[in-house]
Amino acid sequence: MTVTEDRTPEREVAPIRELTPRELLRWGWRQLTSMRTALILLLLLALAAVPGSLIPQENLDSVKTSNWQAAHTTLAPIYRKLGLFDVYGTPWFAAVYILLMISLIGCIVPRLGVYWRGLRSQPPAAPRNLLRLPEATSYTTSASVEEVSARARAVLRRKRYRLRRASTSTLEGAGEVSAERGYLREAGNLVFHIAVIVVLVGFAVGSLFGYKGGVIVLQGDQYGFSNELTQYDDFDPGSLFRPSMLNWFNLHIHDFHVDWIDSGPRQGMARGFRSDLRYQTSPNGPTKSYDLEVNHPLDIGGTEVFLIGHGYAPEITVRDGQGNIVSSGPAVFLPEDQSFLSFGVVKPPSGQISLEGLFYPSEVTLPNGQPVNVTGDIGDGSDAVLSLQVWKGDNGLANGPQSIYSLDTSKMTQVTAPGGKAFNLRKGQTVTLPDGLGSVTFDGITRWNKLQISQTPFKHVALGGVVLALLGLLGSLFIRSRRVWVRARETTEGTLVEVAVLDRSGGDEMAAVVAGLVAALQGRPEEEPE
């Protein structure tokens, strides 16, 4: 191996003249991959992420976003043009992180080469004038040059420095030791930067090819869900997702348990809930069962099923004036609060009436006649009350799709119950509507589960990348990299020993390192163990 000088190449300063396109490109590339640009891009990324946290985002909460847009008629179109309702999907946000990634790659590749060469080469020879280095000292000793050099080699080797083999000095008759340690610091640094790219790739694949969907499934073997696009209530695919990527399975909720809190300030809320899920992964495959819980998802061949909510669906039968059933079965009511006071609507596709109302799983009437809900625990259902407002007229269902959780009453008139506005029913009760409009029956109660079903390809790549990044980070922060030179030469007063340290990591107290080295060289106990 030849002895080479390892010095960071200084940037050539070209005379000022017109740049050729090639040079311009080179210049642009250098600018993009410079540390300063990387730093600016990093801070720009932080800045670009801010609006998304302050303005409602369409894919996070579409209801809130449309409300906000309705309330801000001047700002909304401008914001929409700028993509501020979907910040993390806009081209300008993508531009920042793509530029950052290119800058990162442009930064890493040359550094890999430099690092590789640095690993193979020896620690650099001592500079001519050691005492000019910021951290340097000298002392005179009676030991010979050879003794000092040998001792320095032993001390530095013990401190796990890598030593330069050749010891020919630039100065006549002097003994020189060059040593370096902390090679892994730069390795950690490179690992960190590569890992960041791995994370970005993992994240990008996950959000481009993945999807996230939600569905409400009623409890009972007769209900269920099969993994098809049409079965989802809401579906949020990545931009490169194709429906063929959905894998085949079906599931149903056989049983469902809720653990209610029955004392304390949160009395009546659910502490935990668990579904006894049955599923099939192929049309003729066996039916398997799984206890689905929050924090305990089911993984079906890369598609994960999460239990994220639950509630009640009162079974309501609506009959018209002739006694024909126009609507029947469970209607999903959505919880309004933690005690599962729920709101829902029934919109029969035919017939004149529609219903909207509240469901009290466990109702108590206050002395002033006000009904309140005590707990979400429905017990045997004897305290459950369905309080319905009945509307007559066009529910708009014929005009196209609309939310099944709200009723547009603008073209309807209310049918009031005698003595009040709402019709209150207990389980099993039927109320006959005035004017021969028919009747409403509260047959029973079914529970429902809100499931989130998602596929996030490459999620383990992203996780592995972050863990790798953390390890690299630890290396780059806490491994100390420094070079040490010791030169001994004969003078009239004895052997003059010069010791110099070059800190390559920053943030260290080099004076203490120098003092420790000198102490070790002189055979004194070190004050500060290094």
Partner 1 sequence: MSTHAWESLSNQAVAAAGVIYFLALLSHLVEWSALIGRRSAVAERKVLVGPAGAESSVPSSTEAPVDSEGAVGTSGSSGEDERATRAELFGRLGYLLTCIAVACHVVAIASRGFAAGRVPWGNMYEFTLAGTGIVAAVYVLLYRRLKLSWMAPAVVAFVLVFLMVAVLVLYTPVEPLTEALNSYWLVIHVISAALATGAFTLGGIASAMYLLKRRRPDTQTGWMARVPDLPVLDRVAYRIHAFGFPIWTFAVLISGPIWAHQAWGSYWNWDPKEVWAFITWVVYAGYLHARATAGWKGRNAAILALVGVATLWFNFIGINYFSTTSMHSYAAPAHVAAAAPAVPEALR
Q: Map the footprint of partner 1 across residues 325-344, applying CB under 8 A.
A: 334-338, 340, 343
Nearer to partner 1, 62 or 409 (CB): 62
Rule CB under 8 A: is residue 75 a binding residue for partner 1? no
Report the residue number, 362 or 456, with the smaller CB distance to partner 1. Answer: 456
Interface of this chain with partner 1, residues 227 to 256, rule: CB under 8 A: 233-234, 236
Q: Tokens representing 297?
A: 């998802």
Query: Any contact of residue 369 with partner 1 (CB under 8 A)?
Result: no
Chosen residue from 33, 55, 135, 346 binding partner 1 by CB under 8 A = 55
**Could you tell me the smallest distance in angstroms from the CB atom of residue 380 to partner 1?**
22
| Chain residues 414-443 in contact with partner 1, contact rule CB under 8 A | none
Site pattern 459..478 for partner 1 (x: CB under 8 A): x--xx--xx-xx--xx-xxx
Residue 57 lies near partner 1 (rule: CB under 8 A): yes
* Backbone Cα Rg of the chain: 37
Residue 60 found at the interface with partner 1 (CB under 8 A) = yes
Tokens representing residue 385 in the block: 């009350």
Using CB under 8 A, which residues numbered 391 to 410 contact partner 1? 403, 405
At its nearest, how many Å lie between partner 1 and the CB of residue 269?
8
| DSSP per residue, 153-190 | HHHHHHTTPEEPS----SSTT-EEEEEEE-HHHHHHHH
Give the nearer residue to partner 1 in terms of CB position, either 97 or 175. 97
219: which DSSP letter? B
CA distances from 221 to 12, 337, 446, 453 (A): 76, 28, 12, 20
Tell me whether residue 265 or residue 369 sits nearer to partner 1 (CB atom).
265
x/- string (CB under 8 A) for partner 1, residues 251-290? Answer: ----------x--xxx--xxxxx-----------------
CB of 220 to partner 1, least distance (A): 19
Residues touching partner 1, count (CB under 8 A) = 80
Extended beta strands in 366-493, E state: 371-373, 385-393, 412-415, 423-426, 430-433, 438-455, 482-491
Min dist. Cβ of residue 55 to partner 1 (A): 7
Which one of residues 454, 461, 480, 530 is an interface residue with partner 1 (CB under 8 A)?
Answer: 454
Assign 124 to helix, strand or coil: coil
Q: Which residue, 78 or 308, is less far from partner 1 as judged by CB?
A: 308
Nearer to partner 1, 3 or 94 (CB): 94
How far CA 487 is from CA of 5, 375, 490, in Å, comes to 18, 83, 10
Residue 20 in 3-state DSSP? coil
Give dist(CA 507, CA 525) in Å, integer.
25
Retrieve residue 56's tokens: 């409602």
At a CB cut-off of 8 Å and minimum separation 6, what does 419 contact? none
Residues in region 145-174 near partner 1 by CB under 8 A: none
SS3 content of the chain, % helix, strand, coil (to 5): 30, 30, 35
Report phi then psi at 184, rounded to 5.
Answer: -75, -15
Q: Closest separation between CB of residue 141 and partner 1, Å?
A: 29
Which residue in 6, 32, 68, 281 binds partner 1 (CB under 8 A)? 68
C-beta separation of 198 from 464 below 8 A:
yes
Would you give the distance in Å from CA 193 to the centre of its chain? 19
> What's the min distance (Å) between Cβ of 207 and partner 1?
8
| Chosen residue from 82, 294, 364, 372 binding partner 1 by CB under 8 A | 294
Q: Nearest approach, Cβ of 216 to partner 1 (angstroms)?
A: 8
Please select the residue that binds partner 1; options are 9, 506, 525, 529, rule is CB under 8 A. 506
* Count of CA atoms in the C-beta half-sphere (13 A) of 137: 13
Q: Choose between 264 and 419: whose C-beta lies nearer to partner 1.
A: 264
Closest Cα to residue 441, out of 315, 351, 527, 283? 315
Instruction: Choose the binding region for partner 1 from 60-68, 360-368, 391-399, 488-496 (rule: CB under 8 A).
Output: 60-68
Q: Which residues pair with 62 in a beta bridge?
A: none
d(CA 154, CA 163): 10
Q: Select from 42, 101, 163, 374 the one that contacts partner 1 (CB under 8 A).
A: 42
Give yes or no for residue 118 binding partner 1 (CB under 8 A). no
Output DSSP code: residue 130: G
Dist CA 93 CA 82 (whole Å): 11
Q: Which of 6, 76, 88, 281 binds partner 1 (CB under 8 A)?
A: 88
